[in-house]
Structure 1
Amino acid sequence: MNAFWNRWRKQLAWESVPAGTVEGRADRDPAVGPALTDELERVLTPVMRPCAGIALAGAAESPIHSFLTGHPYLPAGTTWPEGAAGPQIFVGQINFAEVASVGALPGFPRTGLLQWFVDADDTYGLTFDRSAGTAGFSTRWYADPSTAAGSPQPDAPTPTDTVDDLPMEFVGPTALQFRHSISIPDWSGLPAQHRSDPIWERLAAALGERRADPEFVYEEYVRGGSSLLDQLRTASKVGGYPSFTQDDPRGTGSYPAADSGQAELIIELDSIDVGGWGDSGVAHLFGDPAALATGGLTSIRYHWDCL
C-alpha cells in the first residue's frame, strides 16, 4: 500500500496546484495535504481491497484471451449453452492468468478461463422470483484452456447474429486489458465508525466545499468522479467491491449475504465502459473465489440493474 499512499501524498500536496485550476475550490494551506493523507490512510486502509480494473483493448487475438462478445473458446465436442429462449448470448470470458499477471487477488484463481452466457430475452435472463440470481445464465470453467483445442466451430449457433437487443453495445470479440487497482466500498458499505469519522468534514473544508455532508464528500471526492485516488476503480473490474445503480441484492432471495464469503464480486461490467445493460446499467457475477479457483461454479450468482 505504500506506493498507493505515496501517490495520494503527491496528489494532496496542494502547493503544486495553481489556484483556481479547479472550479469552486479555495486556496489551501500546503500543510493540510500530508495531514489529511495520514488521516485518510488510517480510515481507508482497513477497508481497501485489491481488484483488477477492466478496459476495452481492441480486437481479441486468441480464443483463450479475455474478451467480450464474439465467439467464445469452445473446444471440439462442446455444445453452445441453451436457455429458455434458445441459444444463450455470450457475454464474455476472463482468463485469470491475465488477471494475475497485473497483481494477485487474494483467494482468486491464478489460472483458468471463466465464461459467462445469458438468456436471449428482454431481461438478459434475469428473473425476479425465487430463482433470481440462479437462473437465466450459464457459466463455464476451463482449468487449462488450449489454443489448439479452442478454434471456433462453424456449425455452433451464435445468438448475437439474430438477437436485436444485446447486453452490450458492440459485437465481435473485444479484448480486455487489466490494471491492478484499489477498490473501496460505497458509503453504505463503510463501517459505522468510518462514516462518523470527522475526516469527511475536514476534507470538505480543505477542498473549499461548502456542502459538508459526509456522504456527498465521500462519494464525490473519495470514491466518485472527482476522486483524488489515481488507483481507484469503481467501474468494470474483477474482484473488489461492487457498484449498483439501485440496490445490492445480496442477502435477499437466492443471493447469499455480502459477508458470507459466498457472494464476493467476481466480475463487474459497467455500461460506462462497455455500454448497454439497459439505461446506465451494471452487471455482476458474485460467488466464492476460492471455490472458483477449484472449478466450483455452484456459488455463482448473476445480477444486473439500471436506472
Structure 2
Amino acid sequence: MELEQMISRVDELLPPQPAVRLTISNGECTVFDSKLGGTPYFPKDMEYPRGKKNKFEGQPLLLLAQLNFEQIPNIPDFPTKGILQFFIAADDLYGMSPDYGEEMAHQHNFRVIYHENIITDTSLLLSEDEIPAPEVDDMYMPFTGEFKLTAGEPEKMQANIFDFRFGDAFVKAYNEFADEPVEELWDIDDSITDPLYDKADDFPNAVIGGYPIFTQDDPRCVEDVADCDVLLFELDSYYNTEIGIDIMWGDSGTGSFMIPRDRLKALDFSRVLYNYDCC
C-alpha cells in the first residue's frame, strides 16, 4: 500500500493552501516593518489596545507581531496593503482565553488590528516612549526584544495530521486502498501514521496561510469555531543561539491565529480564533 497515493487522495479532499513562510532574523526594524515585538505602528488618534479580563483588565497589551502586506507577496484572500497586528496580554496564557470554543475568538486579552491605509508621517504615530506599558507583576511573553520578519515566495502547504479534518480525510483515503477498512485514524498501523507525524514536523517557524500545527488538539474541533478555516498567522517556538533568537511558547509550543475566510475577504478581523498550546 503506497502512502504517497493516500496523501495524494487527502490532497483532493483537503487541498493544499497557499502560504508564505516568514524568516525570523535579527536586524534593525522601523515601525512600518513586518516584525515580532518592538515598537508597533500606531496612530496617535487611535485607542491603544488594552486587556479586558483578569489582571490585564485595563492594562495595555504588547505587540506580538505585525505584518506589512506591502512587504509580503500576495496570496488569495489576504490583504494586498496595510499593516496587520497581533497584540497579546503578557499573562501566563499569553492572552489566550482559558475557556474553549467561541470564547477563544473573543478578543478579551488579545487584539487583532488592521490598518488599511498606512500613515507615513511619523509625527502622527506613537513613538517608542509614548507606547503605554503594563503595570503588572510577573509578565510573560514568548520572547523579548524585536526580530525582523522577511517574507518568502508563495507556496502550497499540505494539510497535516494535527488538523481536525485530517483524520476523516485520511481514513477515507486509506479505505480506498486497504483490504480491510477502518473507522478511525488510530486503527491504522503505526508504520503508516508515524510518517504523517514526521512530515508535520517540517513546518515554518512563522507563516501566514497554509495549515496550522498544534502541539495538542485542534481547537476548531468544537463546532462553533470550525468555520475559522484560514491560518492568519502562526509563530512556532524557535531557538537559534548562533543568531541570538529565543522564542518559546511555554514548553516548546505554538501560537496560532485563525479566521473565517469570508471575514478575511471582508478585512473584518473582529472575530479571530487565537490558540496557544505546548507540550
TM-score bucket (shorter structure): 0.7 to 0.9
**Which has more radius of gyration?**
1
CA contact (8 A) 2:235 2:254 kept: yes
Corresponding residue for 1:136? 109
Alignment of 1:30-179 (within 5 A): 39=5, 42-43=8-9, 45-46=11-12, 47-83=15-51, 84=53, 85=56, 86-99=59-72, 101=73, 104-129=74-99, 131-134=103-106, 135-149=108-122, 151-153=125-127, 154-159=129-134, 165-171=139-145, 173-179=146-152
Identical-residue share of aligned pairs (%): 24
| 2:195 paired with 1:217 | yes
Q: Structure 2: how far apart are the matches of 1:152 and 1:279?
A: 34
TM-score, length of structure 1 as denominator length: 0.69
The amino acid that maps onto 2:237 is S
The amino acid that maps onto 2:91 is D
The amino acid that maps onto 1:256 is V
| Greater relative CO (CA pairs within 8 A, separation 6+) | 2
CA contact (8 A) 1:113 1:141 kept: yes
Q: Which ranges in structure 2 are unaligned for 5 or more consecutive residues?
A: 179-188, 240-245
TM-score, length of structure 2 as denominator length: 0.75
Corresponding residue for 1:184? 158
1:121 deviates by: 1.8
Q: Structure 2: how far apart are the matches of 1:108 and 1:144?
A: 15
| 2:266 paired with 1:294 | yes
Cα offsets for 1:155-180 (capped at 9, x unmatched): 32134x97654322221x31101222
How many residue pairs match? The answer is 244
Q: Structure 2: how far apart are the matches of 1:234 and 1:61?
A: 21
| 2:221 paired with 1:264 | no
Decide whether aligned partners of structure 1 residues 271 and 163 sit closer, same or farther in structure 2, where only a CA change above 3 A counts. farther
1:305 deviates by: 0.7
Corresponding residue for 1:8? none
Cα offsets for 1:257-286 (capped at 9, x unmatched): 1xx3x4421111111366121111111111
Aligned-residue Cα RMSD (Å) equals 3.0
Q: Structure 2: how far apart are the matches of 1:147 and 1:178?
A: 21
Cα offsets for 1:25-58 (capped at 9, x unmatched): xxxxxxxxxx998x58844653311211122132
